Amino acid sequence: MNQRIIYQTNEGGVAVIVPANCGLTIENIAAKDVPAGTAYKIVTTDDIPSDRTFREAWEADFSNPDGYGIGADAYFAAKETEQ
Amino acid sequence: MSQINVNTITNRTGSGGPVISGLATAQNGLHVTGGGVNVTGIVTATIFSGSVETLNIDSVGIITAQSGVHFGLVGSGLTISSVGAGTSMGFFTDGSEALRIDSSGNLRFNSGYGSAATAYGCRAWVNLDGTGTVSIRESGNVSSITDRGTGAYTISFSTSMPDSNYSVGGSTGRSDDVSDSNIDIRALNTGSLLFNVRNQQSAVLVDRDIILIQIFR
């Protein structure tokens, strides 16, 4: 999968989520694995620098997010309700 | 001993189904549909293929077969249930217990251990590259890994752990040099594991291209 999910950490940096081949959609993974209430964007690997020399200085614009995380507990609770 | 030769068996009026007394043979085999067939009042039941005994059910329900028992499954597959409180399922080879699922659902097996002992399976694992564009080579029960910064990662589980009292095994390596880093566990959550990779001399966070993590519970 060449997609990645990014969100801003509490420290102001950028976290990059690498989806596993687990059968979930990238939207499902974003909802589950992004912290609850945190805005995220779905990007491609081309958008992520491969040079990690200044990894802690990475920035991104989250003013127009693709969604907000709900966290693992709420995700599983919602899935349970659906069944 | 009486013998009934039948081609068709029909329901008796006012009864729950056909009744066959004695031995029955049918020209083109016996087919039972609807409610099935109940055989009562027997000590053993034996099925023959021609004159060769192929399958026997003895008085306590033990099934023996001449050439092993083969299940040909069509549709939704096979479900084997252990009925009754406190019952378990055992599988024996050459008279010795090889595998058991006990009444609590624990799987025990004897793979050269001397006895069938409870197996504690790996509940999640991942092999990842933490350098360049961070990527997962392969994984199990992992929905994603999060690159939180240099040498800082989160593993999120596809299926959460029952509690946070699990055990983690991990190692790191460098494909271009000797290994010089350790796994530093930061938080064990039911849905995720946070860890860092640190240089074992300076303790600074470092990226490594070989990061291997296993979770046991």
Please give the pLDDT value at position B16.
57
Please give the DSSP secondary-structure letter assigned to residue B12: P
Least CB–CB distance from A20: residue in B142, B160, B190: B142
Confidence grade of residue B177 (pLDDT, cut at 50, 70, 90): confident
Contact: A17, B145; criterion CB under 8 Å: yes
At residue B51, the pLDDT reads: 80
| B207 neighbourhood in chain A, CB within 8 Å | 52, 55
What pLDDT shows up at residue B2?
46
pLDDT at A8: 96
Percent of residues, chain B, with pLDDT higher than 70: 81
B28-66 pLDDT per residue, tens:
566 666 666 666 665 787 888 878 888 888 888 888 887
**B132 in contact with A at a CB cutoff of 8 Å?**
yes
Distance CA A49, CA B141 (A): 27
A9 touches chain B (CB under 8 A): yes
Contact A22 B158 (CB under 8 A): yes
* B183 touching A (Cβ < 8 Å): no
Angle between helix A26-33 and A72-82 (nearest 10) = 130
Residue B76 — very low, low, confident or very high, per pLDDT cuts 50/70/90?
Answer: confident
CA distance B171 to B183: 6
Q: Do B143 and A52 touch (CB under 8 A)?
A: no
Q: Which residue has the higher pLDDT, B131 or B95?
A: B131
Structure ipTM over 0.90, yes or no: yes
Residues from chain B contacting residue A13 (CB–CB below 8 Å): 148-149
**A-chain residues within 8 Å CB-CB of B136?**
18, 20-21
Residue type, A31: A
pLDDT at B154 over 90: yes
Record the pTM: 0.77
Give the whole-angstrom CA distance, residue B125 versus residue B111: 23
**pLDDT reported for residue A70:** 96
User: Based on C-alpha coordinates, what's the Rg of chain B?
Assistant: 29
Q: Cα separation of A5 and A24, whole Å?
A: 14
d(CA A44, CA A22): 18
Q: What is the mean pLDDT of chain A?
A: 94
Best A1, A22, A27 member to test B by mutation, with max B CBs in 10 Å, is A22
Lowest mean pLDDT among A27-41, B11-25, B178-192: B11-25
